Amino acid sequence: MAQGAPSPRQILKTTPLFAALDEAELASLADRCGIHSYSAGEVLFSEGERCKGLYIVVSGRVRIFKTSLNGREQVLALEGPGASVAELPVFDGGDYPASGAAVEKTEALFVSRADLRAICLEKPEVALKMLQVVGARLRRLVGIIEELSFTTVRHRLISWLIREGKAKGQKSDRGIVISLDASHQELAAQIGTVRELVSRNLARLQAQGFLEVNGREITILDSDGLEADLSSMV
């Protein structure tokens, strides 16, 4: 663990999932769960593997994704510090339905299936919290299905840009500036398409005057226009 990094105990204390536990319980859980460090790209668990337990992201980011036979990837979720990952196979004992890998240098706590079950049985509030977390995940998956089933790549790209703009865009006099920290490849995996289409659609949006693309810096010039485009696409 890095110098000055929080102890497992401190992390558990601030994890929403375990908010209901008291000091003693937290301490006992902290003793039983291991902390692991992953380098960028390293796999935490693979699709189809038997599920062993749940991870809690301490630092860094974890990418949950599916891989197709021909190598394409579809990202299902990106989780940062405090979030739990792979909660669900814990309770139905099956295999992981997708893979999880560290996007950047990442630390994560691992809580075993057995420990979790014990906690849920003893502190039902934890189980309820868990249901809430899983519920949120379900919502996001339904959203992905909706986008994949009903919309075009262009639409998904615009949605992504707007979301990203709201989340970490910098306001400037010309518009909202987004600095891409992901490659087009990665962006494509997130919106469910291939690199080339991301490139082409960005170019097209620029030609239409909605954006200005400068390497990995995208400036949204006309965000109202983009939003309008979304709803007009019937």
The two beta strands, 99-102 and 43-45, are antiparallel
Least distance to a second copy from the beta carbon of 73, Å?
9
Name the residue nearer to a second copy (CB basis): 82 or 97.
97
Q: Of these partners, DNA, a second copy, none, which one is at the site of residue 139 (CB under 5 to 8 Å by kind)?
A: a second copy
Tokens of 213: 């693309």
Contact 102, 92 (CB under 8 A): no
* Site mask for a second copy (CB under 8 A), range 20-49, x = bound: ------------------------------
Q: Does 185 bind a second copy (CB under 8 A)?
A: no
Q: Which stretch binds DNA (CB under 7 A): 79-87, 108-116, 139-147, 149-157?
A: 149-157
Residue 110's CB: how many other CB atoms inside 10 A?
19
Q: Which is nearer to a second copy, 9 or 113 (CB)?
A: 113
Does 63 engage in binding with a second copy (CB under 8 A)?
A: no
Which among 220, 212, 198, 213 has a CA at the least distance from the CA of 154? Answer: 198
State how far the Cα of 232 lies from the Cα of 234, in Å rounded to an integer.
6
Least distance to a second copy from the beta carbon of 23, Å? 21
- Residue 231 contacts DNA per CB under 7 A: no
CB 205 within 8 A of CB 211: yes
Determine the size of the site formed for DNA (CB under 7 A): 21
Residue 3 near a second copy by CB under 8 A? no
Under a CB-based contact definition with an 8 Å cutoff, are residues 101 and 42 in contact? yes
* Owner of token pair 């990442």: 106
